[in-house]
Amino acid sequence: MELPRVVKQYDVFLSFRGEDTRKGIVSHLHRAFLARGIDKIFKDDQTLEIGDSISEEIKEAIHNSKFAILVISMNYASSTWCLDELQMIMELHKEKQLTAVPIFYNVDPSDVRHQRGTFALERYECSRVMLLFSSKKRAMAAKIQKWREALREVAGTSGKDLSTCKDEATMVADIVGQISKQVFSMEPLDFSDIVGMKVHMERLNPLLSIESEDEVRMIGIWGMGGIGKTTIAKCLYEKYSRRFAHYCFIENVRIAAKNGLPYLQKKLLSNIRGKKQETLWCVEKGCSCIKSKLKDKIFLVLDDVDNVDQLHALAKNTGWFGPGSRIIITTRDFGLLYSFGVRLLYHVSFLDIGDAIQVFKQVAFEGGQAPSDVYQQFSIRASRLAQGLPSALEAFGTYLRRITWIEGWEKALGILETVPHQSIMDILKTSYDGLDEQEQAAFLHVACLFNGTSVQRVNALIDDGDIRTKALEAKSLIEISPDGCITMHVLIEQAAREIVRQESGSMPWRQRILWKTDPIIFVLQNNTGTTTTEGVALHMCEMLQALSIEGNVLNAINNLKFFKAFMHLNDKESKLKFLPGTDMLPNTLKLLHWDSYPMTTLPPGYYPHCLVELNLRYSSLVHLWDGTLDLGQLKRLDVTGSKNLTEIPDLSRAALLKDLIMKGCTRLKQTPESIGSLSCLRKLDLSNCDGLTNLQIHISEKIVLREPGLRRRRQIILRLPRAVKKLNSLANLSIEGKINIGLWDIMGNAEHLSFISEQQIPEEYMVIPKERLPFISSFYDFKSLSIKRVSYSADGVPFRCISFSAFPCLVELNLINLNIQKIPVDIGLMQSLEKLDLSGNDFRSLPASTKNLSKLKYARLSNCIKLKTFPELTELQTLKLSGCSNLESLLELPCAVQDEGRFRLLELELDNCKNLQALSEQLSRFTNLIHLDLSSHDFDAIPESIKELSSLETMCLNNCKKLKSVEELPQSLKHLYAHGCDSLENVSLSRNHSIKHLDLSHCFGLQQDEQLITLFLNDKCSQEVSQRFLCLPGNEVPRNFDNQSHGTSTKISLFTPTLLGFAACILISCERSFNLQFPAFSYDWNSEADEVIWINLKPNLNHSSEIEEEETVASHHLVIIHVPSSLNTEKIEELRLESHLQFPEEEFQFPLGEIRACGIRIIDEANPV
């Protein structure tokens, strides 16, 4: 959050015409301010108005003042000095660098606005005529125009008009009182109250190292505009500056530098030396003065630097300053700091969501607290939009604070989500203006087309991409995520798109980039495209109907570089079609992305010599083009899901091709022989190309020359029909589907290799002995390997796994449904392994060496039906052993006392592990468990040790057919799933339970347990529990739901001003042989206009094998939902409940159940239960 400006030299600057007001109102104002304790006033009583413009001293005083009082008197405009002062003051007022307060002293503001009478500027026009042959003619004309603008602006600025005041004394008292109040509020504050500032100070302290007296330190604070760099610098200044012999805070260096670098140098010297400096005619003289005069220990802050020349002029090197000095530089440009040699750097990051909400509420609400849950939700929404940007949080809070009704907030937030707030726009526009022309173009392309895209792809698509994206990152306009994708703050994206709209005059056919559906349709439909447009991004899902346009429409946009027509992949058909035409694509295209491309081939007249990416997913293509085309720039070709495509043409001239994706091209018979010549190919995806047969893959290692001298480099040889050449760069290979795979020796530099088949999988996974491969001397650097059969078969052919010794770099290993009978002992050598999935195999135990896998966090061995024991892996966080029906032990029994607390396990799935011994004792050792699944066990009561699991939040007991009682649950438990526990008769909840979701469906021994319902809804439980869900068998809505009706809806009158919430009860009847189940996320609710509550139930349905098909069975269940209130009961008198039951229609084509009745009950302070 931005702080008041506390480092200005003057509180008030008085601008006046001396002969009119010096001995009158100006002297009264001066005396009144002194009486109020404000003595930092600049009042020029000595300087004579000599020369063409105001002195440097006055310019500096204006820049260094918090307020400027402009006494506009009869002869004010007769002084060019006064007009120059006015111009400068109004410019700074507009930039919010000071506050201008005009006093219209015996003059009419209208005369000032329209320059009538003594405010007419014709006298200066006459002077211009006289200067007809003077070299100053143009400069004088420009100055007069600025004076006119300043007079108009000051006339519209809030101030005082003597003619409307009671008397002069009253007017003076009002002005002085108002300004004094603001000045005193701007005095140094307790910075510890600023959200997040304590953390910033703690992180900066080691960089400052204030106690170190023997060195000069320069610290750079950088980050995006509006993120709080200046605020942090001010906190440091207030905290440390007075420990130094001299200190100076130069604000807004970027703006002040418009007056010239000597002006900045003079400002620094004046502030430090405390007296007026002689004129500095050049930068070199200023550098010499600073170097010679600032030899003492100094604390200097240079705020908002945007050019390295500014640093060279003010602090070229540490030798200019005395030992122990600290120079703090704030900037948006990391590259500027780095090029200047600053290595002590602090990047200001965004606030997290918790701190952001706190900042927003401090500004938006009196006392910093939201008055209701509705406004709390609004606060979260506004904070998410701001994405942790402090200036945006303050701007949004200030803007919304003035709105006092809920509908107004809703509307205002909707506007803020689509149009950038002006104050934020001003901040971010400054960053844009600081870019060169090429960087500006790259910035707009990223914001409108490529936000969230891989930086490598963007670098390939835009001109000099690697240079441009690095510049944007250095200037805090984009970030590169750890996975290599560009991320741009939503408000920067908003501002960029607003810039595009503004530069086109809001005429879509003139926009550089089009991304909104309606303007794009307008341009395409009316053929109004121009050479201005460089990019189009059309989301076809937003089109209400299909659009057929003339074939030459896109070709008319003859500077078009990027065309994207995309949609959700579950849509069947493109909504953008072309009438017949041969020249429908411009040859300037770098990116052509057209989902469900409607033509059977690319147009014959299209020459893709500029094309970098061709993405035609789910197209109608039969073939791409005829012959061999010049594809010298092409790096990515994606024809995923083009089911009619029969062949890929010759790619021999696509020398730079890196990604070739043909996934799901089911009619593709063969791959082109030219693939073998693609030396840059790194990704080849032939998944689900079912028409390909007998695909063979050979990945091997050879010796090649790289730099001078012999080095080893892994290569990949891919054997395809009639394509046997080397592919040196292939790094990602995906083969799956209905094809037979011949997997030879698995070696090479691919990081991720995946083989999935519905038919046949290689029967052997092995490494050829090194003596048979003389060039191999080290391991292979795969990061992940997946070999899977689609399903497990008990009589499946065993997959032989001999050794892992050559794969120590694996991070993830998945060998699934392969009937492996023994795991190699050397599995323990894979020290980098974090994720292991060996589900659906036939081994009885894992080697003892598995304990050496110190980084293993996730292990899944589901349906390993022969597994009997599992090694003790103390670092595991997730362990899934579902269906290991012969598993006897997780730990060495009996458990040692010292075992407790050794295990880090958070999630444990043991469903259908019925053979486990001493289960309670083993569970007691996993004290950190959050999630536990004990479904399909044969115990009649839950293991006793569960009550000691103080962190447990979720427990599953589904289909425990012998379970009779659930008691002594841990206080931390929030979700309990016990579906299908046929023998269950009792569920005991404490009065302060924390359960939010309780599924007891098909537990018919609990029939209509009203005591359980009452206890579950008890409002005296933990305050963390707000929204709750309960399902249990029942035949009627309980009587205490006093508003009941048959069917899906009911109404209730709202007569209580203390509404806390409501409880809704819904009676469901499920027909035929289906089990109803309510897992997590199986319901939702929302309100409509504060008058209707909608509840949507989305249960799982499973066919019951225990019931004969011809039987008709009806099961009745009660669903009870407790929801806290966010309703405005002062505005509505009646509330209606609407309920809906939703089944998966794609699986069941007949009605399976219905809502028979429903009821609703008000919960208020008088009736909390």
**Active-site positions?**
85
Identify the CA nearest to 817 among candidates 795, 846, 845.
795
Q: In angstroms, rounded to a whole number, what is the distance separating the alpha carbons of residues 600 and 576?
A: 14
Q: Which two tokens stand for residue 397?
A: 């809070």
Q: Which two tokens stand for residue 1146?
A: 């794609």
Pairing mode, strands 878-880 and 1100-1103:
unpaired
Identify the CA nearest to 601 among candidates 645, 546, 554, 652.
645
> Taking the CA atoms of the chain, what radius of gyration do you get in angstroms?
38
H or E element: which one contains 549? Answer: strand 547-549
- Check if the beta carbon of residue 88 is closer than 8 Å to that of residue 60: no
Q: How far is CA 280 from CA 83, 302, 312, 446, 824, in A?
A: 25, 20, 16, 44, 80
- Check if the beta carbon of residue 679 is closer than 8 Å to that of residue 729: yes
Q: Which two tokens stand for residue 754?
A: 């995946």
> Burial letters for 1058-1097: b for 16+ Cβ neighbours within 10 Å, e otherwise?
ebbbbbbbbbbbbebbbbbbbbeebbebeeeebeebebeb
Please state whether 452 falls in left (phi above 0), alpha (psi between -120 and 50) or beta: left
- Check if the beta carbon of residue 183 is closer than 8 Å to that of residue 40: no
- Check if the beta carbon of residue 512 is closer than 8 Å to that of residue 531: no
Return the axis-axis angle of helices 406-416 and 373-386, rounded to nearest 10°. Answer: 10
Q: In angstroms, rounded to a whole number, what is the distance separating the alpha carbons of residues 220 and 560?
A: 41
- Which runs of consecutive H residues, i.e. helices, occur in 1017-1076? none
Q: In angstroms, rounded to a whole number, what is the distance separating the alpha carbons of residues 286 and 963?
A: 88
**CA trace torsion 706, 709, 713, 716 (10° rounding):** 60
> Burial letters for 566-583: b for 16+ Cβ neighbours within 10 Å, e otherwise?
bbeeeeeebbbebeebee
- Check if the beta carbon of residue 812 is closer than 8 Å to that of residue 789: no
Tell me the residue ranges of DSSP E strands in 883-930.
Answer: 907-909
Task: Name beta bridge partners: 104.
Answer: 72, 161
Decide: helix, strand or coil at residue 1121.
strand
Q: Which two tokens stand for residue 520?
A: 């794009």
- Check if the beta carbon of residue 217 is closer than 8 Å to that of residue 240: no
Task: Name beta bridge partners: 978.
Answer: none
Distance from the first to the final alpha carbon of the chain: 43
Amino acid at 1160: I
The backbone torsions φ and ψ at residue 524, rounded to the nearest 5 degrees and listed phi first, read -70, -40
Q: Which two tokens stand for residue 90?
A: 């109004």
- Classify the C-alpha dihedral 69-75-77-78 as positive or negative: negative
Decide: helix, strand or coil at residue 612.
coil
Return the axis-axis angle of helices 353-364 and 373-386, rounded to nearest 10°. Answer: 120
H or E element: which one contains 609? Answer: none
Q: Which two tokens stand for residue 557?
A: 């946009």
> Residue 391's Cα: distance from chain center in Å?
17
174 Cβ contact list (under 8 Å, min separation 6): 160, 165
Identify the CA nearest to 83 among candidates 13, 154, 162.
154
